[in-house]
Amino acid sequence: MSRRGLTLVVAGLLTLALGGAGAVLPVPYVALSPGPTEDTLGSVKGKPVISISGHETYPTSGKLSLVTVAYQGGPTAHLDLLTALRGWVDPNVAVVPEETIFPKTVTVKEVEEQNTQEMTGSQQDATAAALNELKIPIETIIVVASTQKNRPADGKLRPGDQITKVDGTAIRDVDGVAAGVRKHKPGEQVKFDVIRDGKPLTVDVGTVEGNGGSIVGMVMGTRFKFPFNVNVNVGDVGGPSAGLMFSLGIYDKLTPGALTGGTSIAGTGTITADGKVGPIGGIQQKMIGARDAGATVFLTPADNCDDAVRSVPDGLRLVRVTTMREAVHAIDALRTGSGNIPACKAP
């Protein structure tokens, strides 16, 4: 064999070897791509995404779709070099450092559990936002989210305890509990009336100095008691970013007529119980997923607008929203052809 032929053979073998190594060589990155899109007015695996019982509902049409991001890679299934390289040149994929999705301070299981908790909380907040928008009364319940180690509440109050009174006075919100504790001097006892596992209980908890006053060392959260049942079924979707679309789907089912006028609208955004819309991650992949699912309008959190306008797919109209009410008004304007429709604008 000539020297040139030998060189070509060796070069070919090296190329194959490097390609083979690249196919299995793990890299600390995660590839993000458009994930499933689910219509909140439709069904998943034969079950309605949103089902309501105990209150009148109305038939509707069109789509109010939530969008998701799928990921490949992670601590338990590392991305290989070739997949990462393909992702870097694919405009529909974002390749980000692994720590962006899986911080080293938490395990994969903890990340998944957090996503599940955020989804559950998002559904509660979305229901509250929709009912508040419709002026349907709901009851706010104050619960113990966690206690701080070596603080007075540790071992006395438990996560999930529902706080009903502080020193015999009924409370309505988190601020009321905090104010009741601050009335005491450090070292004094606070009497909490709680409901634990369905049973009423009185718990005396000491106080210590902290944050410029007295504290007991607990983190509080809120839950809601609704006057009828609202159930949300989205399968394996996690995280809080579908909150806005859940709230709009619930609102649509509780009001006569079709909110969308029969068109296909997608969107994203976290939601608070009072209807404020917050930013999310993966906006580029979510817009692509929305367009591929047939949406022509995309409800975009205001804080995501700058990134969205830089990569919006052709044929997708970006509507800027800061609150659920603003989203409802924008959809009304789109349906009727009149009124102001706030848009995301280039920075």
Residues annotated as catalytic are 241, 286
Q: Which of 246, 278, 221, 210 is nearest to 126 (CA)?
A: 246
Backbone angles phi, psi at 234, to 5 degrees: -130, 15
Residue 195, SS3? strand
- Euclidean distance between CA atoms 123 and 198, whole angstroms: 23
Give dist(CA 208, CA 205) in Å, integer: 10
Q: What's the Cα-to-Cα distance from 136 to each of 39, 105, 130, 208, 251, rounded to whole Å?
A: 24, 42, 9, 40, 11
**Residue 127 φ then ψ, to 5°:** -65, -45
- DSSP for 278-316, please give it: E--S-HHHHHHHHHHTT-SEEEEEGGGHHHHHHHPPTT-
**HSE-up of 201 (CA within 13 Å, CB side)?**
15
- 216 secondary structure, DSSP code: -
Q: Which amino acid is at 65?
A: S
Three-class DSSP category at 172? coil
- For residues 280 and 271, what is the distance between their CA atoms, to the nearest angstrom? 11
What tokens does 210 get?
């902290």
Q: Measure the CA–CA gap between 173 and 324, rounded to whole angstroms.
A: 22
Host H or E run for residue 333: helix 324-336
In degrees and rounded to multiples of 5, residue 43 shows phi and psi of -130, 155
- Amino acid 204 reads D
